[in-house]
Amino acid sequence: MNHYKLVESMSKPAFYPHTPDTVTLIQTHISFIFIAGDLVYKVKKAVDFGFLDFTTLEKRKYYCEQEVVLNRRFAPNVYIGVVGISEDREGNLRPGDGDTIVEYAVQMKKIPEEKMLYRLMEADTVTEDDACRVGKYLARVYGDISSDEGAQRFGAPDVIATNVIENFDQTRKYREGPVSGKVFDALESWSRSFLDKNTTLFDMRIARGHIKDCHGDLHLQHICIEDDAISVFDCIEFNERFRFGDVASDVAFLSMDFDFNGETSLGDAFVGAYIDESGDASLRDVLRFYKVYRAMVRAKVISFMLDDGGLDDAARLEAFLRAKRYYNLAYEYVTHED
């Protein structure tokens, strides 16, 4: 488990060498995030969910280091490094590599919340030019990532099928809940059919170098657009299967997120700019398939919330309706005629 004094210590401004005025703690299911003035310290919780395992200090150090290395590809000016957290002889915690290191944290520059893409969307200030900037930026980033043998195996049709079918196996119990049997069956049938009929297409994507060590969680909340810079952060570091794959899967994730938020024209501009900058014309041949996949991933994650006995009725209803929207969006993709 994490050190028993960790949260208390890191919640105090005096803990930090730059002595911020305030410290704000945000918790996710896998992280403690301390916003300390203009710096952010992210500590991994000592948890094991099967698809990730942070239960030992050594593993948390390793995945902190991986988080910095992998995310610097997308946001080189945001990720500063990994900071050790030490315990002194009096039992006090402090940042730095002392005699007894009890934890590790990823140190980052604070990203302006008001410049986050989802916040800009809420303010209705995102333009097609902004979407194109993101597309061109990502095309350049992915262009610098190699497609080696280790990555290419994640583009094999059987590996892709494993990921896709897993979604349906894990959401089957929500049939006749947030998703009707008709919609669920249509999504599964369409996805399996696409897999069966397009082996040559998937093989071609491998041969042309489009299978890479990608981001894995590319959506509106992980992109910041400032006047002179774009930053993309929070790439998945803890599970290669969730990160490696066709670049089209990442592009589809963000495109789907634009659609989900009622801004299909922005998604189209983003995709078009990415293709123009990268020259990856065949991406369009797999885009709908991966948009269905990504919508199903989001539907699955939100459906899992319905199993949380701690949710009150209002939160449960919100999760139900949100999951239903994702299932229905996926259904729109498979029933839409080009």
Give residue-wise pLDDT tens across range 173-226. 999 999 999 999 999 999 999 999 999 999 999 999 999 999 999 999 999 999
Domain CATH number, residue 268? 3.90.1200
Amino acid at 271: V
Residues 68 and 155 grouped into a single domain: no
Residues 89 and 180 grouped into a single domain: no
Q: Kindly state the helix (H) or strand (E) to which residue 137 belongs, with its residue range.
A: helix 128-143
Q: Give per-residue pLDDT as tens, 233-273.
A: 999 999 999 999 999 999 999 999 999 999 999 999 999 99
Domain assignment present for 150: yes
Residues 141 and 184 grouped into a single domain: yes
- HSE-up of 116 (CA within 13 Å, CB side)? 15
What pLDDT score was predicted for residue 338?
60
User: In angstroms, how far is the first alpha carbon of the chain from the final one?
Assistant: 52
Q: Tell me which DSSP letter residue 244 carries.
A: E
Domain assignment present for 1: no
Residues 164 and 291 grouped into a single domain: yes
Which pair of structure tokens corresponds to residue 46? 């000592």
Round to whole Å and give the CA distance between 180 and 175. Answer: 6
Q: Kindly state the helix (H) or strand (E) to which residue 34 belongs, with its residue range.
A: strand 31-36
**Residue 161 belongs to domain spanning:** 115-335
The answer to whether the CB of 192 falls within 8 A of the CB of 225 is: no
Round to whole Å and give the CA distance between 170 and 163. Answer: 11
Q: Give per-residue pLDDT as tens, 263-300.
A: 999 999 999 999 999 999 999 999 999 999 999 999 99
Q: Tell me which DSSP letter residue 3 carries.
A: -
Using alpha carbons, select from 230, 237, 269, 260 the residue that is nearest to residue 329.
260
Q: Give per-residue pLDDT as tens, 66-108.
A: 999 999 999 999 999 999 999 998 889 999 877 799 999 999 9
- Domain end: 110, 137, 172, which one? 110
**Residue 26: strand pairing partners:** 33
Average pLDDT of the chain is: 95
- Domain end: 75, 110, 145, which one? 110
Residues 285 and 216 grouped into a single domain: yes
Amino acid at 216: G
Residues 177 and 305 grouped into a single domain: yes
Furthest-apart CA atoms within the chain: distance in Å: 69
Using CB atoms within 10 A of its CB, is residue 220 exposed (0-12), middle (13-18) or buried (19+)?
Answer: buried
Residues 10 and 85 grouped into a single domain: yes
Residues 157 and 205 grouped into a single domain: yes
Domain assignment present for 256: yes
Round to whole Å and give the CA distance between 188 and 191. Answer: 5
Checking if the pLDDT of 125 tops 80, the result is yes
What's the average model confidence in pLDDT over 110-126?
95
What pLDDT score was predicted for residue 337?
65
Number of independent structural domains in the chain: 2
What's the average model confidence in pLDDT over 320-329?
98
3-state secondary structure at position 59: helix
Q: Phi/psi class of residue 194: alpha, beta or left (left: φ > 0; alpha: ψ in -120 to 50)?
A: alpha
Using alpha carbons, select from 53, 48, 56, 15 the residue that is nearest to residue 34.
15
What pLDDT score was predicted for residue 78?
96
Residues 163 and 101 grouped into a single domain: no
pTM: 0.92
Checking if the pLDDT of 124 tops 80, the result is yes
